Structure formats: structure tokens, C-alpha cells
Amino acid sequence: MKKAFSLLEILIVTVIVGIIAVTMITTVRPRDLEVGHLYISAYTFLKDASDNIFLDAQSITHDHKTEVDLNSQTFCNSLTDYINTTVAPTCGNAGTIGFAAGTFSPDWKPSLIASNTMKIYVTSPGTINGEKYLKIWVDLNGDRKPNTSTWTEGSPADVVAFAVDSQANLIILGAPLFDTRYVWGRIHYTTNENGKGVYSKKLPFYQAQYRAFLGQQTDDYLSKNLNDYMSGDLKAPANKIPAPTITSYDSEMCQNVVGGVSNSTYSSCTVQVLN
């Protein structure tokens, strides 16, 4: 006849299960997984909204180089046409945050609160190299802590920012350039004769960006890296974004050669944003 487990055996099994559970929690922290889902969600709905704002402006001018109105309150009001909100928009707060701000303050008042609880802050416009931009700060998890833009290895920031240029293109700033807990990049080299894309492996976003555009700032907005013009928490440390090596394959596939001369203002490659 089989005997029941002894109390000592039950305690030993309980301890082992506890150790395994703690190890799994330490190895894959829920916040590390969450921040990626939240970031790509914020990127996606802001990009969709910005793209539609540009198309609305273009439908009036019929010019592919149309510039959108980057007045803070005007742009904020345009966002409300494409972003679901749970409370009345407060675009009157838009522009009260200076463009130069590089660190989030919990004293800021949001311009919008999305239906997914993300808080959105639209800054005043600023100029970089003669081009006008806005910044859009996003508190990815709303009222939940820690509500900080300060990034550390052990704790990715839950407040991030994007830049928007005069054609409403959304530009990644700060830690998501290098921290793949937020986002990945992938180079789209070309499309083969079977209609299938040829891609690189997943890379930190800044690496994919650098290699796809051969280290150049080109006419493609995805090539724009504004890190040198950022401050505070939005300036990625130099040791986190060293210049990657451009492979011979990158050079061969991404150079746009016209009449035997490489054209540095256009690349045959582009970058995909992945979670």
C-alpha cells in the first residue's frame, strides 16, 4: 500500500517550486515585456495619427512636400481626430512645455489622455538645423508608477518622447534607439523577383538606421537621428550608440547609384520598426 507524502517531502517540493518561480520572475520581468508592448502601441497610434494629419494637409495643397501646422494646440486638436480619448481633450495645455525640456516632470499637465490611459504631452515647437519640430511625450502606463523618463539598465523608463517634423513624420528619441525592450529595427534591403522582401536580422533601432542609410542623414525621415540635439533623459549615452560597422552587403545593397555616382541623399534601403 502506497504511503502518503511526509510533511518534510511536501516542504522540500514547495521550496523547489518557489525557487523556480522566483528565478523565472527575475529572468523575465513583467515590466520588461510590458514596456515593449506599450511602446509599440504608442508609436503605432501616434504614427497613424500623424500620417493622417499630413494626408489631410496634402489633400488641400496637392503637394507631396506639404508642411503641416506645428502650432502646439493646432497639432494637438488634429491628434484628437485620430486618437480615442476617455476624457475631454485638454489641448489648452499643449505648448506649455518647452521644446528643449529633456526630462519629464510629474507637474506637467497632459494635453490628451488616450482611451488606453496613456497620457500625451505636446510641447511648444522648436528648431533643429533650421527645421521645425514638436516633441510628443507619452506616459506609457498613465497613472501607474514610476512615471519617469530616467532610464536605467534595471528599470526602463515608462515616459518616452518622439519628435514630429514639418511633414508630420514621427521620429524615435532616447533610450528606445538602443534598448530593444522597447523596439527593434530591421533593414529592408530590397524586394526580389518573387516579390518577397530581403531583410536583415532584428537589430537595435539605431544600428538598423545607421546601416540602412550608410551613416547618412538622408531625405528619408527614418534616417533622422536627432540624438546630438537632445538633452537630459532624451540624450542616449554615447557608449550606448557607438557607430555600427557598415557591412559590405549594406554598402552594396543600400547605395543608390545614379550615372555611376553614389547619391548620399537617398538610400535604396529603409528601416522597419518591430516589437
Same-domain check for residues 160 and 205? no
Query: Residue 158 carries which DSSP code?
Result: S
Instruction: Please name which of 78, 76, 107 lies closest in space to residue 94, comparing C-alpha atoms.
Output: 76
Judge residue 239's burial from the number of C-beta atoms within 10 Å of its C-beta, 0-12 exposed, 13-18 middle, 19 or more buried: exposed
Last residue of a domain, one of 171, 195, 214: 171
Domain-located, residue 3: no
pLDDT by residue (tens digit) across 73-104?
999 999 999 998 877 778 888 999 999 999 99
Q: Does 217 map to a domain? A: yes
Could you read off the pLDDT of 175-222 as tens digits, one per residue? 999 999 999 999 999 877 677 889 999 999 999 999 999 988 887 889
Same domain, 44 and 151: yes
Provide the Cα torsion 136, 138, 143, 148; round to 10°. -100
Q: Number of folded domains in the chain?
A: 2
Are both 158 and 212 inside the same structural domain? no
Structural domain of residue 206, as residue ranges? 173-275
Pick from 138, 156, 171: which residue ends a domain? 171
Which spans in the chain are helix H?
Answer: 7-27, 30-61, 72-79, 205-212, 248-254
Residue 169, pLDDT above cutoff 50: yes
Whether residues 161 and 194 share a domain: the answer is no
pTM to 2 decimal places: 0.84
Q: What is the pLDDT of residue 194?
A: 74
Task: Note whether 127 and 151 are within 8 A (CB).
Answer: no
Q: What pLDDT sits at residue 90?
A: 81
For the chain, the distance separating the N- and C-terminal CA atoms, rounded to the nearest angstrom, is 55
Residues with Cβ within 8 Å of residue 106, at least 6 apart in sequence: 147
